[in-house]
Every structure is written in C-alpha cells, then in structure tokens.
Amino acid sequence: MNIENLSEWIVVVVLTVIILWLWRERMAYKRSIKDVRTLLERIVTVNHAEKLLYVTGDAELQRLMTEINRLLNLNLRVSADYNRSQIAMRKMISNISHDLKTPLTVVLGYAEMLDGDPNISPEERTKLLSRIHQKTNEAIELIGSFFSLAKLEAHDTDIPLTRLEVGELCRRSILDFYDLLTAQGFAVHIDVPEHPVHALGNEGAIGRVLNNLISNAIRYGADGYTLGLTLSEQQDTVRIEVWDRGKGIQEPEQDKVFERMYTLEDSRNKAVQGSGLGLTIAKRLVEAMNGEIQLTSRPYEQTVFSFTLRKISY
C-alpha cells in the first residue's frame, strides 16, 4: 500500500469514527430527551409535587430541566392558590346563603302573621312592620357587601386616586359614630395632627375603610369601652390606626380576619352587625390605593387595625 492510499484509508477511518461517535452522542441525547419527557409526563399526570430529577452531563439539558422545575413550582403554587380560592368561594356562598336565609325567614314569618291575623292591634302591626323593615335592610346590606367585594376582586370598581387631606376624613368618620359611642359609654381617644396631612387615596374608599374598622372595633372591642383613632406620618407614608382595648383576637385567628365571611363566634356587641365581609372589603380597598393593612392584638391591652397610604408632601 503506497503512502497516498494509506492516507486515504486513515482519513476514511477517522471520518467513520467521528460519524459513529456523533451517531452515538445523538442517540444518547435522544434517549435523555425521551427519559426526561417520560418523567415529565408522570409528574403532570400522577404526582404534581414531584421535581424533575435526571442525571446528565449535558449543560444545556441541565439548564432546561432547571427552567422546567421552575415552571412546575409555579404551576404547583397556582394550583394551590386556585384550590384555596375555590374552597373559600364555596364557604362564602354557603355562609351568604345561610345569612340571607335568616332575615328572609323572619320577614316571611312576620308577613304571614300580618296576613293571617286580621284582628291584630295597630300597635302590634306597627311593631311587626318595623321588624320586617329592619330584617329587610339587613338582607339588602349583606347583598350589597357581597356585590361590592365581587366587583373589587374582579377589578370592576373604579377607584381614582387624588391628593386628600386625611386628617379631616378621620375626624369626620369618628364623628359619624359619636352618638353610638356615647350611648354605649365608650371613652374615645383621637390623635390627629392639627396641621394638614396629605396622602394619595380615594375619599370614598378611605371613608368606607374607616367605617368598617370603627364598626369592627365597636363590635368586638366593646368589653374595653375604649376606642382610639390615630393618624401619624412617616417619611413616605401616612398611617391610620383604629384601636380598642377589648378582648382582642387570639394569634391563631389573626391571619384569618381578612378572609371572606370570617367572624369571631363570640362577638358580644350586636348594636353594630357584621356580615363577615367588612374587613375583606377594607383590605381590597386599601390595596387598590396601593397601601397595606395590618393587625396587631394583645387581648385587653390593645388591638390595632392600621393601614398606610402614600404620603404627599407638596
């Protein structure tokens, strides 16, 4: 064999080896892809909490599996949030149905009494009509709260933000409850700066948040006979606090108070009725104004609901 033929033979052998090596690598890569696909199919169809684990020396395949695991984690969180939302929605519908049934049943009973007894006295008739009116208003208020929350959570409520003087809003809100607080013997502490305090917010939304928080403090903090409203300024935010010295909220329940339809079972003050939606609506309104709402509670010392808004200094 001459040198030229030997060179050609060597080239052929080398090319054959390279082709075989490339074919082997390609087949190994296809097997890896197939194995990863099989693992992924099992995770999707059987065990959603499992992670994609596969040993490979291919750097690109490793990066691909890392991104797939990130997507799996995101999908797991979304699925868990969806399930919690569905459970909460079913519970809310059940509670709404129960709470609507109560006043409507009473209304029906009183109406049947009026219709079935033609000899009822004028005084008793007036009394029954007054109760019908009261229970009807309760049902209307509950329905209104439900639709308000539904619109807020669907982002179907227009809440334009403007520059507001929140000190005046605080004074006005506490004044709306003056007669009720006085009648029930509450000591009221108002700590609002004399100078104007401006924040970015919505007048109607802030008023409703304060109304809900004050109502909540009267209802659940009646044992302490004390209610406070504090307005303070930080560097970039304005903080409004509504506090009482009642029985408070135990720590295991503190994370639940902003959930739909959550109410403390042993609330004693029935002068201010609650639907269980007030604090949830307050939270959604504060968030719509780019603020935050919080709760801290030390039973019979101080229970504080506070929310912050963006401060405007000019």
CATH code of the domain in which 117 resides: 1.10.287.130
- Kindly calculate the radius of gyration of the chain based on its CA atoms and give it in whole angstroms: 33
- Copy the structure tokens of residue 89: 């929605």
Give the per-residue pLDDT at 200: 96
Rounded distance, CA 231 to CA 100, Å? 37
DSSP 276: S
Give the per-residue pLDDT at 261: 54
In which band, very low, low, confident or very high, does the pLDDT at 10 lie, cut at 50, 70 and 90?
A: confident
Q: Do 274 and 213 have their domain in common?
A: yes
> Average pLDDT for residues 228-233, to the nearest whole number?
96
In which band, very low, low, confident or very high, does the pLDDT at 65 lie, cut at 50, 70 and 90?
A: confident
> Average pLDDT for residues 278-286, to the nearest whole number?
91
Of 71-75, 158-162, 189-193, 244-248, the one with minimum mean pLDDT is 71-75
Query: Would residue 279 count as lying in a domain?
Result: yes
Q: Do 293 and 185 have their domain in common?
A: yes
Q: Return the higher-pLDDT residue of 6 and 131.
A: 131
Question: Percent of the chain at pLDDT above 70?
Answer: 88
Q: Do 146 and 172 have their domain in common?
A: no
Q: Do 131 and 168 have their domain in common?
A: no
Query: Would residue 63 count as lying in a domain?
Result: yes
Q: Return the higher-pLDDT residue of 306 and 270.
A: 306
Q: Return the higher-pLDDT residue of 107 and 68.
A: 107
Are 280 and 260 spatial neighbours (Cβ–Cβ below 8 Å)? yes
Provide the residue range defining the domain that includes 34: 3-78
Q: Do 166 and 289 have their domain in common?
A: yes
> CATH number of the domain that 186 lies in?
3.30.565.10
* Residue among 58, 18, 15, 12 nearest 35 (CA): 58
Q: Return the higher-pLDDT residue of 291 and 68.
A: 291
Give me the numbers of helices (H) and strands (E) for the chain, helices first please. 8, 7
* pLDDT of 276 above 80: no
Query: Would residue 275 count as lying in a domain?
Result: yes
In which band, very low, low, confident or very high, does the pLDDT at 262 lie, cut at 50, 70 and 90?
A: low
Give the per-residue pLDDT at 47: 67
Give the per-residue pLDDT at 283: 93
Give the per-residue pLDDT at 285: 94
State pTM to two decimals: 0.66
* Residue among 80, 152, 100 nearest 276 (CA): 100
Mean pLDDT, all residues of the chain = 83
Cα atoms in the 13 Å half-sphere on the side-chain side of 62: 5
Q: Do 137 and 168 have their domain in common?
A: no
Give the per-residue pLDDT at 51: 74
User: Domain end: 78, 101, 128, which one?
Assistant: 78
Q: Do 45 and 172 have their domain in common?
A: no
Of 44-48, 217-221, 251-255, the one with minimum mean pLDDT is 44-48
Q: Do 289 and 195 have their domain in common?
A: yes
Give the per-residue pLDDT at 267: 43
Q: Do 22 and 145 have their domain in common?
A: no
User: Domain end: 19, 51, 78, which one?
Assistant: 78
* Residue among 188, 274, 195 nearest 229 (CA): 188
Q: Do 170 and 265 have their domain in common?
A: yes
Rounded distance, CA 254 to CA 220, Å? 13
Q: What is residue 220's three-state secondary structure?
A: helix
Query: Would residue 85 count as lying in a domain?
Result: no
* Domain count within the chain: 3
Of 52-56, 66-70, 86-90, 153-157, the one with minimum mean pLDDT is 52-56
Q: Do 270 and 295 have their domain in common?
A: yes
> Average pLDDT for residues 200-209, to the nearest whole number?
95
Query: Would residue 248 count as lying in a domain?
Result: yes
> Average pLDDT for residues 59-71, to the nearest whole number?
78
Query: Would residue 129 count as lying in a domain?
Result: yes
User: Domain end: 26, 47, 78, which one?
Assistant: 78
Query: Would residue 84 count as lying in a domain?
Result: no
| CA 1 to each of CA 6, 10, 16, 17: distance values in angstroms, whole numbers, following the listed order | 6, 12, 20, 22
Q: Do 181 and 257 have their domain in common?
A: yes
In which band, very low, low, confident or very high, does the pLDDT at 1 lie, cut at 50, 70 and 90?
A: low
Q: Return the higher-pLDDT residue of 192 and 15.
A: 192
Query: Would residue 83 count as lying in a domain?
Result: no
